[in-house]
Chains A and B, each alone.
Chain A
């Protein structure tokens, strides 16, 4: 149903060059995928989004102007990610990368197709999404932790570790609205990464924060790779993708154009978009 213009490259041992020790991935071991995306499509209705009150709704309904203006943010996207793999997702703005991450992390429901994820997801889509500015750092740790699905007992046991990693001990009882953006990012990151998830989803989040924080967060994430964490990483920085990922997919206007190793996709991205 529909054309599937994508190139798939067989993964083999020689390609796992990266910068780190390779952990034998699930694909190599013949295991089932940790993230399965099958024929996923997301349909937005551009017209209806403009109607948000009763008056307009009734008027448009009566004048029969309530039409459906289809916009497929994603269509026929299919790929699998195996345990231990680090998949980069690249494409231009508007290609559907963030939308894809939202579907995988359960924030958006697919209009078509299905997504299956095995295990705990740590979505670092925006650090501190659960933060309340009036609440102190301490209170926000529990609140954000709860939003991520942690229990009170767990947060109690990890509280000191979180405060230490974020280096915010002096400010932990200050309301969050008085924090700088870097402090908020540090706190959010510390809480979200306190548990090694099965699937780590990163949406351009490593570009936030100062150099010290970026180094610290990169190290923490790289530390997770050695434990076989599966990663989905969206970035505009091809360099970061090459540094972190072993495989990648290229999205263009909601379609999956190619899937292969990080180097191959990086090359394709360059050829496609950066040739003047």
Chain B
């Protein structure tokens, strides 16, 4: 254990450099640059709002805010897991030439996307003002879903990163899975409609939905987080993290043979 901690300390600067690189290069060639982290969620939210409120005839004033909360978390989850998934194969050149603790690659992707996610949360302020949603004391609980989404993305990311090295199709399968998760997370519709048709069990199986609901409890519903929901999602995340890291650790010496 001590060697791992010592190793982490030695390469701590590298982790920071990799995270910095991801963020710096993400928008380097574009005109608006980092502003896109704020602009992109707003634009997507507007599209979703126009499509689903006008078409569905919803007149809920907080609907844009509702969409945004779900959308921000989903975007992080999607980007972070996709980034971690390809992290090993993308960095194959480095891995084959120089020793670097391999978990740094997926970890840096998870972290760089997390920083961008935290920045994008700024969008909640103007949209909140427009929808007359103001923070209450329940805002403090936000630490829980914010921490949970990071752990969940990490666990799944490590698992995917390992799988992708051996089976290149995982990338495509995951894209489809993400689409499924998006439709089942009640981002742009209210879950009550689905529950009425008897498919409510979907939400009980979707950990991302649980995090989104908790997130909304802090910001929109202004009530205490549902702890059953929280702990279910937490258990899932912990299991995935343990499984993912263990698998990664076991297989990492074979990566170089497949990349």
Contacts and interface: CB of A to CB of B under 8 A. Distances in A.
B11 A108 contact: no
Contacts, number: 71
Interface string B167-186: 11110000000000000000
B25 interface: yes
A55 B169 CA distance: 9
Interface string B73-108: 000000000000000000001111111100000000
Nearest to A129: B97
A147 B253 contact: no
A148 B99 CA distance: 8
Contacts of A151: 13
A11 interface: no
Interface stretch (A13-21, A86-94, A130-138): A130-138
B72 to A, nearest CB: 27
Nearest to B9: A151
Contacts of B11: 146, 149
A126 B28 CA distance: 27
A126 B96 CA distance: 10
A108 B17 contact: no
Interface residues of A, number: 31
Interface in A120-164: 123, 125-126, 129-130, 132, 134-135, 139, 142-143, 146-152
Interface stretch (A45-53, A59-67, A74-82, A229-237): A45-53
A44 B257 CA distance: 8
Contact of A147 (B25, B28, B100, B167): B100
A261 interface: no
Most buried by B among A49, A130, A139: A130
A79 B111 CA distance: 43
B144 interface: no
Nearest to A43: B257
Question: A interface, by DSSP: helix, strand, loop or mixed?
Answer: loop
Contacts of B169: 53-55
Nearest to A110: B253
Given A49-B258, A53-B168, A134-B25, A146 B97 contact: no
- The size class of the interface chain B forms with chain A is 20 to 34
A132 B24 CA distance: 12
Given A45-B257, A142-B17, A147 B98 contact: yes
B256 A52 contact: no
Nearest to B166: A52
B10 interface: yes
B13 A152 contact: yes
A49 to B, nearest CB: 7
Contacts of B94: 129-130, 147
B14 interface: yes
Interface in B149-196: 166-170
B97 A107 contact: yes
B98 A130 contact: yes
Nearest to B98: A129
A106 interface: yes
A111 to B, nearest CB: 9
B14 A107 contact: no
Enumerate the 8 nearest inter-chain pairs by beta-carbon distance, A residue then B residue, closest first.
Answer: A106-B99, A129-B97, A146-B14, A109-B253, A146-B17, A126-B97, A53-B169, A146-B13
7 contacts: A44-B257, A57-B167, A107-B96, A130-B98, A139-B21, A147-B98, A149-B10
Interface of A: 44-45, 49, 52-55, 57, 105-109, 123, 125-126, 129-130, 132, 134-135, 139, 142-143, 146-152
